[in-house]
Amino acid sequence: MGIIQLCSLCVKMFENVENCKLDPMLSWSTLARAISEKLVLLCALLSQLSLSRACPKECSCNSNNKVVDCRGRGLYDIPRRLHPDTQELYLQDNRIRGLGSMAFREIPLVRILDLSNNSITTVSPTALLGLRTLQHLSLAYNSLRELDKRLLGPIRSLSHLDLSHNSLWGLPGAIGDSLRNLTHLGIAHNRLTRLDRSLLEALGRLDSLTLRGNPWRCDCQLIGLKLWLETYLFKGGVVDEVLCYQPEEMKDRDLQKVPYQLFHACMSTSYHYLFANIHHLESERLLRGHTHGNHAHPSSHALHVPMAMGEGFGGGGGGGSMPECETKQRHRPVNLRHAIATVIITGVVCGIVCLMMLAAAVYGCAYAAIMAKYQRELKKNEELAAAQGTDHGTADEKEPLENAIA
């Protein structure tokens, strides 16, 4: 619009020049008319160039809300000549196969980028470089097998990430450092068999999470996810279901409903993750106590559970009493209490068994020593008895012989 207004101003200026009668010999009217025609033609060309720059011919654009809609246009690549002020770009339902380096460098202010339902198999680690204001990214319904940890590195404002319906085998653990402001993560219907707990713990603002449709392997490696899910749900997070796919005896069982007793083979792993979880909750309790001391808002999401948990482990009452103005603490999840009780009982039973085995070993050694000594004494007595019997027999034989001679 600025170019068109400038051209109109120039045309009016030359029309005013045409009305001037300074020197008839110069034929101002003819000259002004010719220049006006040329300017109109030039303005038309410039406005067409500006419009083509602002909106690719394959897309429809709305200059008011700065939205570019390229859905279902059969595109094989990202359209070019996009307006730099574009804030929303919709590219779903096309045939895009890959994203090259700095594929969106023309639109650094984009906030919403939807690339769902394409055929994307490869994404350059620098494909999103420069998109510092990106908030919503959808790569759902594609054919991604892996995600480079550098892809989302420069983006700190991302709040919605949808990677569902791909072929991802895993997520890089370092990606969590770039997603600290994320509120929704969709990774449903991929090929995930496990998920690193440290990655999830880095997502401190996560409100909703979709995990269904993955071939989860419910073994010792997944107990960390189970513990994190219980803490996450306790805080008010929203998650769908995690159905076990392996091993066969746990197939189609919801991980959240699998009792901890079935993880008895992972006792060392259970101890590690359980006490790591308790430490995490205790840290949050201390943080909550600090914020209460600074008159924090009562709607804080900090947990109340760890105090009772400390008492359950013999922490007792000293130093753990809550202020009178403290809101009533919520009950811990049942599975977590069962896990704590199971670990304690198992430890006590194992200690008793070890003591019994030690006592049995001591008793066996003492019994063997006593029996060996008894056998030696018995053999010695038998030898002495045999020797004494031989001496008596010789004396008895000599006595009749002496009587006969007499």
The answer on pLDDT for 330 being more than 60 is no
pTM here is: 0.56
Interatomic CA distance for residues 146 and 141, integer angstroms: 14
Q: Which of 53-62, 155-164, 267-276 has the highest mean pLDDT?
A: 155-164
Tokens of 258: 């699998």
Write the DSSP assignment of 373-406 as a string of letters. HHHHHHHHHHHHHHHHHHHHHHHHHHHHHHHHH-
Q: What is the residue-averaged pLDDT of the chain?
A: 76
Average confidence (pLDDT) over 92-120: 95
The answer on pLDDT for 119 being more than 70 is yes
Percent of the chain whose predicted confidence (pLDDT) is above 70: 64
Sequence-separated (6 or more) residues with CB below 8 Å from residue 110: 86, 87, 88, 89, 104, 131, 133, 134
Side chain identity, residue 384? L
CB-CB neighbours of 238 under 10 Å: 12
**Runs of H (alpha helix) within 81-238:** 197-201, 223-234
Q: pLDDT tens digit string along 153-184? A: 888 899 999 999 999 999 987 787 888 899 99
Lowest mean pLDDT among 7-16, 34-43, 103-112, 322-331: 322-331
Q: What angle do CA 70, 73, 75 make, to 5 degrees?
A: 90
Interatomic CA distance for residues 115 and 93, integer angstroms: 8
pLDDT at 391: 66
**3-class DSSP state of 136:** strand
Interatomic CA distance for residues 143 and 153, integer angstroms: 22
Q: Which of 25-29, 186-190, 223-227, 399-403 has the highest mean pLDDT?
A: 186-190
Q: pLDDT tens digit string along 342-397? A: 889 999 999 999 999 999 999 999 999 999 889 888 888 888 888 887 766 655 65
Average confidence (pLDDT) over 97-125: 94
pLDDT at 348: 92
47 close to 3: Cβ distance less than 8 angstroms: yes
Interatomic CA distance for residues 160 and 134, integer angstroms: 9
